[in-house]
Amino acid sequence: MLQYLRLHGIGGIGIVRMSGDRCFDVLSKIFRPKKDEKIENVKGYTIKYGFIVENNEIVDEVLVSYFKAPKSYTTENMCEINTHGGNIVIRKILDLCLKNGANLAEPGEFTKRAFLNGRIDLLQAESVIDVINAKSEKEVKTGIKQLEGVLSKKIKNIKQEILDIMVNLDVSIDYPEYDVEEVTNNEILHMLDSIQIKLENLEKSFDNGKLIKEGIKTAIIGKPNAGKSSLLNAILKEDRAIVTEYEGTTRDTIEEFVNIEGIPLKLIDTAGIRNAKDEVEKIGIAKSKEIANDADLIIAIFDSSKELNEEDIEILNIIKNRKSIILLNKSDLNSVLDENDSRFKNITDNVLKISALNGYGLEELNCIISKMFSFDEINFDNDVIITNLRHKNLISKAIENVKKSRNTVNENMPIDIIAIYIKDILEDLGNITGEFVTDDIINEIFSKFCLGK
């Protein structure tokens, strides 16, 4: 079998990782442990000190971790060479491994092997990427839960429920002359109802899962000079967006991730909404409206030192019936707008005076956001949350097939036809955990991994 190895970035320590039947052979050609020992006698989960050598010359002083099949990440024999960080040394050791018979790993190769070797299912493998890419603690938590197999177990239980009925259906199809326990249409309908509820609950969890994974899409809108960029900067607490005294310079949009009291927000700073004459600005306006349309939360910002004008009214119209917060900015100046003004209060109770310049009111803004999107009702330790669109789509497909199956039962179709539809549900669920997926899908999923994982 081929050997796979990879290097893990640059830092104080670099790791070259190998997996496969012959990885200890390759290692033996380049590693001189301080205390030599036959590989058969080296236990898994141990670390040895020694030197990587080439032509009797020391390349680096290293620690090597040993993992013996099947107790390793990939279930194969594995070793990790902990080197001194630094590109040149790691590259050198990598080259030595390659020269001595190893092959370079593809992105996600190690996790793919863990999946192909049956240690984890596809769903768990995908959650490895989620944990690596997580932008908030909540995302890590849902990722880890899936890695532990909580969702896999749930899917497995639903499948088992279907299989319990299928076994009897199949028997009646194959041996109609035998006196097997007959499954009544009512029993099938009862099973279908039960799994539909479970699948729909999973499907529904994606609403929160999406927010957790992608962040709450938050559009900051307001006419030019209201203070959108200043607010974005104040929230980010660093000057990433350009703040300017001239109107309409934020022509495109800026997106930033921020965690507010554990709630992940994807902030989108739009070009100012205005009745502009020039083409670029017009695009900006259209885009602002479009982004506001698409947002989970709209923060509308007004310059409280000035009376509302037509543009402001246009913005108020955009946020009608939307989840929104109204900010009366520049509260450090003489304010002419009032928080209790019915033009605001008719739209939302979340009206707040702030100063993006000196930070006044920002803490209260954080409180409002965290109250609006508190995931309190979610128990991150116990609830199963779907965060992956592929899983969500397959669950939706399974629900469709549950409905189709129910129709076939209601139409009194022959039992073998009913069985075909029910098998489709099983296939959808099997695709989530990776039992039936094609190589193309597997390759696509693992190509999203980073190298070395």
Please report the sign of the dihedral spanned by the C-alpha atoms of residue 435, residue 436, residue 442, residue 444. Answer: negative
DSSP 439: H
**Helix count (H) and strand count (E) of the chain?**
15, 13
| 245 contributes a contact to ligand GDP by CB under 6 A | yes
| 254 contributes a contact to ligand GDP by CB under 6 A | no
Residue 127 or 250: which CB sits closer to ligand GDP?
Answer: 250
Q: Binding residue for ligand GDP (CB under 6 A) from 205, 355, 431, 433?
A: 355
Contacts of 266 (CB under 8 A, 6+ apart): 214, 215, 216, 217, 218, 255, 256, 257
CA angle at 63 for the pair 57 and 68, rounded to the nearest 5°: 115
Q: Binding residue for ligand GDP (CB under 6 A) from 250, 387, 401, 431?
A: 250
Bridge partners of residue 14, in order along the sequence? 83
Determine the Cα–Cα distance for residues 251 and 270; give it in Å rounded to an integer.
8
Residue 187 or 332: which CB sits closer to ligand GDP?
Answer: 332
The answer to whether residues 33 and 47 touch, using CB atoms and an 8 Å cutoff, is no
Residue 338 or 427: which CB sits closer to ligand GDP?
Answer: 338
Stretch that binds ligand GDP, among 91-99, 326-334, 344-352, 364-372 (CB under 6 A): 326-334
Q: Binding residue for ligand GDP (CB under 6 A) from 161, 214, 332, 338?
A: 332
Computed on alpha carbons and rounded to an integer, the radius of gyration of the chain in Å comes to 29
Q: Please tell me the count of residues contacting ligand GDP according to CB under 6 A.
A: 20
Q: Binding residue for ligand GDP (CB under 6 A) from 14, 108, 143, 222?
A: 222
Contacts of 365 (CB under 8 A, 6+ apart): 325, 327, 352, 354
| 228 contributes a contact to ligand GDP by CB under 6 A | yes
| 353 contributes a contact to ligand GDP by CB under 6 A | no
Q: Binding residue for ligand GDP (CB under 6 A) from 357, 372, 413, 451?
A: 357
| 243 contributes a contact to ligand GDP by CB under 6 A | yes
| 131 contributes a contact to ligand GDP by CB under 6 A | no
Stretch that binds ligand GDP, among 65-73, 350-358, 426-434, 439-447 (CB under 6 A): 350-358
Please count the CA atoms within 13 angstroms of the CA of 440 that sit on its side-chain side.
Answer: 0
Determine the Cα–Cα distance for residues 298 and 19; give it in Å rounded to an integer.
49
| 217 contributes a contact to ligand GDP by CB under 6 A | no
Determine the Cα–Cα distance for residues 202 and 423; give it in Å rounded to an integer.
20
| 14 contributes a contact to ligand GDP by CB under 6 A | no
Residue 165 or 356: which CB sits closer to ligand GDP?
Answer: 356
Stretch that binds ligand GDP, among 44-52, 67-75, 238-246, 445-453 (CB under 6 A): 238-246
The residues of the shown chain that bind ligand GDP, judged by CB under 6 A, are 222, 224-230, 243-245, 250, 272, 329-330, 332-333, 355-357
